[in-house]
Structure 1
Amino acid sequence: MKIDEFIARQRKFFEAMDTGEDWDASSWRVDSWLDTRGIKSRSLPFTMLGKKDPLPQVFSDFTKAVLLSIYQLKRPKFAALFAYLIGIRRLFNELSTAGSIYPADLRGEHFLSAIEALKRDEYKNLYDAANCLALIGSVIDKHELTLFPIDFICQIQAPTPRLRHDPMMEREALSSKLPSREAMIAYAQCTNNPINEREEILLRTIDLHIAMGARINESMLVPVDCWIEKKLLDNQGLPIIDSVTKLALTECGIKYFPEKGFEPSIHWLADSDVPLARRAIKRLTVLTKRARSVACWQHENPGRLWDVDPQVLVSRSFINIYVETAAPYDVNRILDRLHVRIAREQTGNPEYLAGDVESAFLAERDSQVAFQKNGKVILRLHECLCIGFIGLFRLKGQTNSVNWLLPTLVKFADITGALGNTSAESIFDRRQLTEADGTRISLRTHQSRHWRNTLYKLGGMTEIQQALAMGRKDIKQNVYYQHVALDTELAFHSAFVEFQSYHEKVQYLQSGIVNGKIQGALAETYHHLNKQDPVLASDFLDTHAGGVHVTLWGICTNDFSREPCQKHLQCFDNCGHLHRTDDAREADNLRKLLELNMEVLTKMQSECVGEAGADKWIAEQERKIEGIRKAITLSDKIVGIPIKVFPEAAGITKSISTRRGSSV
Structure 2
Amino acid sequence: MKKSYDNFALFINEQKTYFNEFLSSSSGLSWDDNHWAFSPEGTGFLTFSGKAELAFNEFNTKPAKAVFDKDETIIDQVIKIDTTYQNFMKAYLVYVIKLSTKIPSGSTLRNRQLLLKRIYVRLLFSGLDPHPTNIHSELIQKATDLLATSRPRQSNAADDYTAMNRIIKDLNYLEITKAYLEFEIKIRKSSSKSTKLAKNAKDKAFKDKHFAEDFGDDDNEKLITIHSFLNIISLRAMLQTPYEQIILNLVLLLIITGMRYHEAATLKFDSLKRLDIEDDAVKKILAKRKLPPYYLGIRYQGEKGVGQRTHWIEPLAIPLVEFIFNDTLEKSVQLRQHIKTIRENGFKSLLPNSLLSLKEKNKMIDLPPRLMELDDVIEHIYESLASSSNGLNRSSRSSKRDSTKKRLKKRGIEPFKSIKNNNGFDVYYSFENIEHYLRKELEADKQVSNDFIRNIRDTKNNFEYSILYEELLFLIPIGSSSIKRTGVIKPLPQYIGYSDMAKFLGSGPNVKYSIFAKYNLTDETGEFTQLTTHIPRHNINTFLAIAEVSEHLQAMMMGRVDIEQNKHYQHLAIEEKLSATNMVSVAEKQPTTCSINNAIDIIKDSTSIKLNPNLELGKAIAQNTHTHTTQHDKSSFINDVMDATDAELFLEFEEQFGEIETTEKKALIDTHSDLMPVTIGSCMRKLTSFQCPYNIKCQDGSPCPYFTLTGRADELTKVKSLINSIKSEITLINQLEMNDYLTFEDARDILEELELRRDNLRALITQSTALEQSKVTINLLELDGYKKPKTLASLFAIEHQNLKKHRLEKKRNNNDSKR
Structure-2-length-normalised TM-score: 0.38
Higher helix fraction: Structure 1 or Structure 2? 2
Structure-1-length-normalised TM-score: 0.46
Larger Rg: 2
